[in-house]
Chains A and B, each alone.
Chain A
Amino acid sequence: MRLPQSLLLLAAAGSAAQASSDKPARPRGLGPEFAKFYEDSTTFTCISNPSIKIPFSAVNDDYCDCPDGSDEPGTSACAHISRNSPLTVADRPRNSDLDTALALPGFYCKNKGHRPSYVPFQRINDGICDYEQCCDGSDEWARVGGTKCEDRCKEIGKQWRKQEEHNQKSMTAALRKKKDLLVDAGRQQQEIKDHIAILEAELQGAELKEQNLEADLQLAQEQDRKVVRTGNGKGKGKVNALANLAKGRVDELRTALVDVRRQRDETRERVKELEDILAKFKVEYNPNFNDEGVKRAVRSYEDYAAREQGTEGANDAADRDLDEIAKADGEESGVNWEHWENAEDGCNEPDLVYKLAAYLPPSLVSFIEDKVISARSFLEENGILAKADEDSSSESKAVTQAREALEAAQASVKTLKNKLRDQRADLEKEYGAASIFRALKGVCISQDAGEYTYEHCFLESTKQNQRKGSNSVSMGKFSHIGTTSMEEVNEAGEVVNVEKMIIQYDRGQSCWNGPSRSTKVILECGEENKILKTAEEEKCVYSMLVTSPAACAGGEEEGNVAPRSKDEL
C-alpha cells in the first residue's frame, strides 16, 4: 500500500527535478510541488494567507513571518505553528485568530540516491542527524554546535531498495497465499453446505425412528401397569416384613441424618470462619503492594461473595424439627413400629407398598427429605460432596429398555438438530470478505514477548501463557470481525485516521478490580500469519498486531468463483 505512493513521489520528484533544472534553485527545504509559490524573486506571498506579503529576502531568514510558516521552508523558525503550541498573540501578530496549521508538510530532504522525504521542521538544526527521513543529512545544514551529518543516502537507499524488493516479493507471495486461503474458504463453505444436506437427510431418518420408539415405549408401559395391577399380594406377612425393613432403614437414615447434620454445622462454622478471614483480608490488604497472588485470592473471594448463597443460615424452627426427628422412634415420637410389626389386620392392597410414605408421620417424611437434601445440596454447592446421580425409579426391564431406546433416539435427533443449526449459523456468520477467515479458523500463532508467550487462534481465542511457569490466561474468546479506526502519524507529523480490519475477542479471564480480559487483534497485510506485537492498552484490554495474507487487499473477485475452477486446474 505504501509502495505505489512512494513510487509516485519518486517519479514526481524526478520529473520535477528535470523540469526545474533551468530555473533558479528552490529555497532550501522546499518540496518541488510548492516551488510555484516561490517564483517571484522580490516578494513572497504567504501561501495560506495571500493578503500577507513580505520581501523575498525574508524567506528562509530564520525568522517566522507568515502565520502559516510558509516563509521558512528551510529552518525551524516556524516550527511552533502547531496546535500543540502555547501560542501568544505576538507569535503571529494580527493573525492569532487564524487556524494554526503549517502550509508546508515539512523540510524537504532531496535524499539523492534514495527517495526524497519530508522531515518535521522541529527537527531542523537541532543537532541530531535524522537519517530515517533525511539520509542526506541536509536537515542539519547549519551545523549547530559542530554537528556534521554526512550523506548516507547511498547506503540507506541501497538497503531500502533491497527491502522494497523484498517487500514486493513478500506482497506477491502474500497475495498468492491469500488466493489459496480464498480457495480453502470457498471449499470449506461448500463442504458446510454439503454437510447441511446430509444432516437434513439424517435428521429425517432419526425423527422417524424416534416416532417408532415412542410407540414401543407406550406399549411396554401399558403391559407393565397390567403386571402390577394383577400381581397376587402375599398378605400380611409382607407388610410386617416391610415394616421391619423400613424401621431399620429409618434408623439408618436417622443416624445418617444426625451425622450429616453435625458435619453440616461444623462445615458451616468453618465456612463462616473462612469467610470472616477473607472478608477482613479483602478490606485490609494493601493493593499497592501488587502481589499477584494476593490479588488473585481477593478476586476469587469477591466472586465467591457475589454469588448469593441460597441455603443461607440455619433456621431455628427447622433445627427444632430436626431435633424432633433425631429422637428415637417410640410411642411419643416418630413412628410406633411395634404397631406395624405386629399388625394383624391384613392389608392386601399392594399399592400400600408404594404408599408407605403415607403411613409415616408427614413431618418425618418431609424433614428427612428436605433436610437431607438441603444439607447435601449445601455441601454440594460448596464443593464438598460430589453430586449424586439422579435416582432412577424402579420399573420393569422392558419399559426401561424401551425408554432408553427412545431417549437415545431423542438425543440423536437433538444432536442432529443442533449440528444442523450450528452449520446453518456458521454459514450465516461473518467470516470477512469472501469468508476468507473460514480458512484460518483454528489456526494458531504465537509470539514470545517478555515473560509471556502470546497466542492467537484465529476466530477462537487469545491467550497469555507464562514462559517461566505453566500459567495460562485467556485473553478473550472470539466475538466478531470488524474494523477500527486507528491513528497514524503521516510523514508531515499529522495525525490521520486509518481503517483497519480487526478480530475482536471478549470474555476472557476476568481481571482483579476490572473487566474480563479482551483482545483486539488488528490485522495487517503480510506474507505470514504472525503476531508482531502484543500490548496491554489499559488494564486487561489488549491489542495484538497480527499480519496475515488474509488482510491483504484484492483477490476476492476471482476468489469467490475460484473454488471449483481451482480444482479443475
Chain B
Amino acid sequence: MARSLTAPRWAMLLSLVILLGCIVVPSLAVKHKDFKTCEQSGFCKRNRAYADNASSQGNSWSSPYELDPATIHFKDGKLTGVIVKTTTANEKVRLPLTVSFLESGAARIVVDEEKRIKGDIEMRHGSQANKKRYDETEKWVIVGGLEISKSATLNAQTKTGFTNILYGPDDKFQAIVRHAPFGVEFQRDGETHVQLNHQGFLNMEHWRPKLDGKDGESGEDEGTWWEETFGGNTDTKPRGPESIALDITFPGYSHVFGIPEHADSLSLKETRGGSGNHQDPYRLYNSDVFEYELESPMTLYGAIPLMQAHRKNSTVGVFWLNAAETWIDIVKSTPPVNPLALGARSKTDTQTHWISESGQIDLFVFLGPSPNDISKTYGELTGYTQLPQQFAIGYHQCRWNYVTDEDVKEVNAKFDKYQIPYDVIWLDLEYTDDRKYFTWDPLTFPDPKGMQHKLDETERKLVVLIDPHIKNAGKYPVSEELRSKNLAVLNKDGEIYDGWCWPGSSNWVDCFNPAAHAWWATLHKFDKFKGSLQNLFIWNDMNEPSVFNGPDMTMPKDNLHYGNWEHRDIHNLNGLTLVNATYKAMLERKKGEVRRPFILTRSYYSGAQRVSAMWTGDNQATWDHLGASIPMVLTNGIAGFPFAGADVGGFFHNPDKDLLTRWYQTGIWYPFFRAHAHIDTRRREPYLISEPHRSYIAQAIRLRYQLMPAWYTAFHEASVNGTPIVRPQYYMFPEDEQGFAIDDQLYLASTGLLVKPVVQENTHTAEVYISDDEKYYDYFDFTVYQGAGKKHTVPAPEEKVPVLIQGGHIIPRKDRPRRSTGLMRWDPYTLIITLDKNSEAEGTLYVDDGETFDYERGAYIHRRFNYRESVLSSEDIGTKGPKSAEYLKTMAAVTVERVVVVDPPAEWKARSTVTVIEDGAKSGSTASLEFYEQEGGKAPYAVVKKPNVGIGKKWRIEF
C-alpha cells in the first residue's frame, strides 16, 4: 500500500525536478564557464596562434600578404589595389583594397575578399546565408564625414615598393603604404603614430571548400574551422573559417583607452598575461552577463570598437568598423635602451591585435592630435549624442518593480512630501500583462492613463520597458503580427527562431528589416499601445539580444536576419537596430506631435549615441562596483557615447546607508542619473533612508538640479562636437603624463568643475589631483587649493562630495529647488565666477524648450559669458532661425538674480555697487555689490544682488 502510494509521488517530484532542470539548465548564465574565453573561441585561438607563430619567428617571419603594384590606382583621394595572399599551398587569394582619405583628416582602409564579393563560393549544409562578407555595418553606423579629401595627393618622393599619400590639414598627414609585405604607416608631421601589419599578424581567412578526410593538410589547426560547440549549442558555420585580424601598433604610446564596454580601468591593460595584466583579450560580443566581475576584459552588453592612444600632447585613434564578435589583444613593449646612449629615454610602444570572426576589414585611422579632435572626427562619422529632453538629465527613479499604478502615484507623492526633486519614474518588466509588451497588467495597472496624468501634473515622465523578445503566444496580436508579417529572426533552416526569455518561449523582432521598423512604429502609436500618453518613454533592455537558452546567453550565430545575413555577421549591431526602430517610432506617436524621444538601451554599438542613453547594466551594491562605475562612464564618454550612467545604489543586493549616500554623491555626476534595484532588494527610495543620510542624499540630488543649466549646456556641446560630458584627466590635460591613468576623478564638460567622488568605505577625505597651477576653489566653501602636478587633500565628510572649481570659469546655476526640471523653466539664474591667473573667466550657457525640435529652427538661447578687465558680459553665440524671436519672447522674464565672484580683487572691498548695462535699455542701472572676507584658507567672495539682466539678452556688468 505504502509502496503503491510512494511511486507516483516520487514520479511527480522527479518529473518536476526534470522539468525545472529543462527550464534552467540551458540558461546557466552565471559565471565564467557560460562565456567563451579566447581559447574556447576558435577564430580567436587561431589568430592568437598565428600571432605567436609570427612573433616566434622574429625577423624571419614574412607576412604572406602583398599589395600587387600593378593594381595600385590613386584617384580623387582614393587608393585602390589588390592584396594577394599566398597560402601554404601556394594558392593566390585576391583581396581588394580601398584606402580613402577623408576631408576630416581620417583615413579609411577596407579589405574584402574577391571570391566572396562575386559570390563564387559554395555554402555547406545547403545554407541560404549570404555569401558576401558583411558590408552593411556602415549603413547602420556611419551618418556622415565620408567626404573624400580633394587635397590628398601622391607623394612624388617615394621609395620603390612604397606608395605614399599626403593628406589631412595642410598635408601634414602621410600614409606610407608598403607593398610587400602589405603594411601602412601613418605619419603626422613626419612622425609615425600608427602602424598597420607592422608585426605581420594581418590575417584574412579566405573561403575554402571543406575537403573530407583531408584534415590537417593545410598545416593549420582545422579543429575549429567547420563546427564549434559551446554551451550545448553547435554552430554549423556554413562558410567555414572566415576571420579577419590585423595588428595595429602605436609607437611611443604607452596608454590606450576606449573599446567599451568592459568593467575595467580607463587606461587599458595588457592582455597576454603577466602580473596585473589580463590573460584574455578584451572581448566585444554584446552579452547579458549575470553578476559581472570587475577589472575584467570580459565582454559586456555593448560594443564600441573605437580606441584612442595617448602620449604627451598627442592623441591618435582607430575605429574598427566590424559588427562580428571581436577580440583585442594589447601588449606594451619597451625596447631596451642602449645604456651608452646618454639621455635616450626608453619608449613604450603599444601593440594591439584586432580579431573579428567575419566581415570585412574596415578601419578608420585618426591622427588627432588632441582627444577633442578624435571625438569630433569620430562624431562626424557616427553622429553626435542626441540633445535629450531636459527631463532626461534629471533624476530617474527606477526599481524592479513599482508594483501597481497606485504604488507609482504614492512614490511620486512621497518625493514631493519630502521635497526631493525627480523627473522620471520607471516601470520594469512586471507592469505588463503576462510579460507581453505593449500591454498593461489589468489587475496591477488598471489605470495607466490616470497614473501618467498624475505624473504630468508636475511635468514628470514615465519610462516603461519594451524588449525585443515577443512572447510566443496566441491571442497576442503583437506576436501574431510578428509571425504573420514575417518580421522575426529566423533560425539556420529559415524557420522562425524560438528561444527562451522573460515571457518563456519567445520570438525576436528582426530590426535589420526595414519593414520591421515600420511595423514597430505602429505598435508605439498612442491608439495602438493603449494606455500610453505623451509623457511615456521607452527602455529597450535585453537587446544584445539576451536569450536565456542560447550560447553566450544570446542567439546561435547561424541564425538568419534580413538579407540572409548570419547573426554572426551582425551580432554587435543588433541592439542598435532595435533602438533605431524605437527612436523612429517615438518621434511621432501622434500625427503632428513631434518630440525628442528618450530611449534607454542596454546593448549598443557605435551610433547608438544618436538615439539613446545607456547604462552599465546589472551592477552590484558594493563599494567596488561604485568605484568601477567612474572609469566605465568615462570610457563611454571618450568613445562617443557620453549619455551614460550606472545603477545608483547597485542593482543586486542591498546597499547600506553609507554606500547609498556615496553612490548618490557619485551618481549625480553620471550624465545619465538613475537609481535602480533588483526585485529582491529592500525599497530604497531616498525618502525612506533615515536621517541624516536622507538629507545628504537630498542635497546630492538637489546639487544635480542646481547645476542643471551647466549639464544641459554640456549635453548641447556633446551634441554638436562630440566631446564627452564628463571627461577624464588626460582629456583635459593632454600634456600632463602624471594624469593619463587617473580615472577616479572627472570634469564636468568645460565648466571647470572637478569632482572626486568618495568610493571607499569609511573615508572622509579625498586626494584630488590637480594638473595645472591655477587656483581651484572648493565648491561649497571656496577653500583654495593650488599646486600643479600633485594631489591635494580635500575634506569629504559624509554629507559632502568633493567638488572643486578651476579658476577661470563662469558656471550657470539655478538655485531654487523645484519638484522637477520642467518646473525650473522660469527660474532666475545664478552665475558663479572664479577668476584665473589673468583675472579672467569664461563660460557658456545653452537653453531651449527642452522637449521639441524647435531649437533646430533657432528656438534657443546660446550665450558666452566673459569676464575680462572687470567687466562681465554676455554675448550671443547662437545663430538666428525662424523661431528665434518667438522663443526669446517667452524667455524675456528670465533673468540673472545673482552673480557670485569667488576670490575677487581686494579693492572691491570698498565698492558697494556695480553698473549694469542691458542692451536696448535707455540707460545703465546699478546693482548692489557686497564683499565678504573669509578666513582659514577660504577665498573671499563678492555677491551682486539682482542685476536682473535678461538671460537671452546682451548685457554687461561693470565692476
Query: A residues touching B (Cβ–Cβ < 8 Å)?
Result: 61-63, 76-77, 79-80, 82-91, 93-94, 96, 120, 122-123, 125-128, 144-145, 263, 270, 274, 277-278, 281, 284-291, 293-294, 297, 379, 383-386, 449-451, 467-468, 489, 493, 495, 512-514, 533, 535-539
Contacts and interface: CB of A to CB of B under 8 A. Distances in A.
A233 to B, nearest CB: 39
Contact of A145 (B458, B652, B779, B825): B825
Interface string B479-506: 0000000000000000000000010000
A379 B3 CA distance: 10
A107 to B, nearest CB: 13
Given A63-B946, A89-B941, A284 B24 contact: yes
Interface in B390-417: 403-404, 406-407, 417
A291 B702 CA distance: 38
B782 A451 contact: no
A72 to B, nearest CB: 11
A513 B817 contact: no
Contacts of A128: 457-459, 819, 823
Contacts of B439: none
19 contacts: A62-B828, A80-B816, A82-B419, A82-B817, A85-B699, A86-B699, A86-B702, A89-B782, A93-B930, A94-B932, A120-B419, A122-B817, A127-B823, A128-B457, A270-B14, A289-B24, A379-B2, A449-B406, A451-B443
A83 B16 contact: no
Contacts of B938: 89
B290 interface: yes
Contacts of B457: 128
B825 A93 contact: no
Contacts of A513: 680
A277 B21 contact: yes
B946 to A, nearest CB: 5
Contacts of A94: 932
Contacts of A63: 897-898, 945-946
Nearest to B706: A86
B2 A386 contact: yes
A297 B18 CA distance: 12
A281 B24 contact: yes
Contacts, number: 186
Most chain B CB inside 10 Å of its own CB: which residue of A284, A288, A291, A449 = A288
B826 A535 contact: no
B900 interface: yes
A392 B706 CA distance: 84
Nearest to B31: A284
Nearest to A125: B826
B14 A274 contact: yes
A535 B407 contact: yes
Given A384-B6, A538-B683, 18 more contacts: A79-B817, A83-B698, A84-B420, A86-B699, A89-B941, A122-B419, A127-B823, A128-B457, A274-B14, A285-B24, A286-B290, A286-B548, A289-B24, A297-B17, A450-B404, A451-B443, A489-B417, A538-B681
Nearest to B930: A93
Nearest to A81: B817
B885 interface: no
Given A489-B417, A513-B680, A122 B443 contact: no
Given A80-B815, A84-B699, A89-B780, A289 B403 contact: no
A68 B366 CA distance: 57
A120 B818 CA distance: 10
B573 to A, nearest CB: 25
A460 to B, nearest CB: 26
Contacts of B39: none
B24 A493 contact: no
A201 B534 CA distance: 76
B893 A144 contact: yes
B853 to A, nearest CB: 20
B698 to A, nearest CB: 4
Contact of B817 (A80, A89, A263, A386): A80
Contact of B825 (A80, A127, A467, A514): A127
B95 interface: no
Contacts of B3: 263
Nearest to B697: A84
A284 B419 contact: no
A106 to B, nearest CB: 11
B699 A281 contact: no
A293 B20 contact: yes
A376 B10 CA distance: 17
Interface string B818-830: 1100111111100
Nearest to A493: B419
A85 B702 contact: yes
Contacts of A270: 10, 14
A517 to B, nearest CB: 14
B25 A284 contact: yes
A126 B458 CA distance: 10
Contact of B826 (A77, A82, A145, A293): A145
A128 B342 CA distance: 74
Given A86-B699, A122-B819, A536-B403, A384 B2 contact: yes
Interface string B678-697: 11111100000000000100
Contacts of A288: 29, 290-291, 618, 652, 678
Contacts of A82: 419, 817
A297 B419 contact: no
B819 A84 contact: no
Contacts of B832: 90
Given A89-B941, A489-B417, A495-B418, A449 B404 contact: yes
Interface in B780-819: 780-782, 815-819
B444 interface: yes
A297 B2 contact: no
Contact of A77 (B20, B23, B816): B816
A46 to B, nearest CB: 16
Nearest to A295: B680
Nearest to B5: A386
Interface string B897-927: 1101000000000000000000000000000
Most chain B CB inside 10 Å of its own CB: which residue of A84, A127, A289 = A84
A512 B681 CA distance: 12
B110 interface: no
A157 B762 CA distance: 53
A520 to B, nearest CB: 14
